[in-house]
Amino acid sequence: MAKLEIQIQTRKMLKPSTPTPNHLRSLKLSLFDQTVPPLYVPILFHYLPSSEGIIERCDKLQKSLAETLTMFYPLAGRYRKDDLPIHCNDEGVEYVETKVNADLAEFLHQGTKNIELLNDLLLWCVPPDAHLPSSPLLGVQVNIFNCGGLVIAIQISHVLTDAFTLATFVNEWAHISQTGTTNANYIENFSHLPSLFPTIVPPGPQFSPASDIGGSYKIVTRRFVFDALTIAKLKSNSSATLRKPTRVVVVLSVLWKVLVGISSAKHGHSRDSSLCVTIGLRGKSNIPSSEHALGNFVMFGIADLEANQPREELNNFINLVGNTIWDTSVGIGKASVDDISSMYVNTYTKVVDKLRKGDEMDIYLCTSWCRFPWYEADFGWGTPFWVSSVSHGVEAICLIDTKDGDGIEAWVSLTENDMAEFERDPDILTFCPTDIQ
């Protein structure tokens, strides 16, 4: 399957089923929203064939999405970078239905190995020029396969969305589709963080993902599966100095160790290296009512490995990553609103400074989508068979749970040359056998 044959069946700008009230027509951004890169965040939900007809399913998806947008009203608005608020003007979200000339089972067999195929499933749901004043903040592409299988592809603006917000939106949409009723009122949840963490001027140094992360090299993405048994062995073999490492810590540590080895071989010497991991603040801070606040609410934890530090043993990396995440989380729990703002700005500034030193050191950006309820998104025809990312144009690492909830899929994006070395590294071949990719 060299390339998917896809035909657009329906394309429209879908508006909220109920107009947004005048007093909600402008939404301020928070400090966390202000500094995120101008990207769309993609995710795909793959569903096996169902006894319910395609026409009925697509009709249900459209109607329930329009109803969901009445509560997630900023997503139907527009963003103008020269003017910080989101204009909640109900212009709508891009909604596309396509017919894919393939069977889902065949596609899934190919798509897990040829990640670039997945990008075709969201090719039509956002404009090529992201974040123009006319660009929608959300795009949905419903892909219908010959067998009746269905893939819901979503691209959503990072300007007001982190993984928690995206998961909340998707599961509310699924709940409305399945039951015709809503779980809760989310309207106030959008304004909570901007009221606590207003934007600042100037926000400090900014970075462009295309120039500061990806550079001019071709980036390729591959998926590496750490199954539950492998992760359990990695955890049990660890001699972490302070506490037992989590699944995310051991997987990130393996990936970082491999990347450090590739860098040393490429440059002929060891270099300073940093692993920058996004850490969610919900549930860690003691700020009232922040657990369910919508918008971006994460900060980086930075693990630093100096050029002269030991790097042969996996435990060295596990200790660095685990202690960084733990210490950052403990600091968040003790911090006031002002303290968290300062921590965020300082950490963000450090990350940007490191990115600008890319010729002198190595920096790896990582995010974990583990433990979010992606596999609970039941629109009325069962939970997804697979939830996936896509191929990315910037160097980064994204972790997401396997369907059983115990394994982890690592979606790694690197330059072509680095990826070739990465795929044949002994640790990767040992911990991620190709027969389960």
The per-residue pLDDT for range 349-379, each reduced to its tens digit, is: 999 999 988 788 999 999 999 999 999 999 9
pLDDT of 38 above 90:
no
Average pLDDT (106-113) is: 81
Closest to 411 measured CA to CA, from 426, 425, 422, 427: 422
Output the pLDDT for position 164.
97
Per residue in 299-338, pLDDT (tens digit) is 999 999 999 888 889 999 999 999 999 999 999 999 999 9
Instruction: Provide CB contacts within 8 A for 361, sequence distance 6+.
Output: 271, 272, 273, 274, 354
Strands 396-401 and 362-368, by their bridges, are parallel
Helices (H), 223-369: 228-237, 247-267, 314-334, 337-356
Output the pLDDT for position 201.
73
Helices (H), 72-145: 104-111, 116-119
With both helix axes pointing from N to C terminus, report the angle between 314-334 and 247-267 in degrees, rounded to the nearest 10: 120
Strands 386-388 and 40-47, by their bridges, are antiparallel
Better pLDDT: 356 or 239: 356
Output the pLDDT for position 406.
95
Compute the distance between CA of residue 158 and CA of residue 66 in angstroms, rounded to an integer: 21
Among 34-43, 171-180, 181-190, 354-363, top mean pLDDT goes to 171-180
Better pLDDT: 431 or 393: 431
Strands 386-388 and 408-415, by their bridges, are unpaired
Per residue in 183-197, pLDDT (tens digit) is 878 888 999 999 999
The pair phi, psi for residue 168, each rounded to 5°, is -65, -45
Mean pLDDT of the chain: 91
pLDDT of 228 above 50:
yes
pLDDT of 142 above 70:
yes
* pLDDT tier for residue 39 given thresholds of 50, 70 and 90: confident
Better pLDDT: 12 or 204: 12
* pLDDT tier for residue 211 given thresholds of 50, 70 and 90: very low
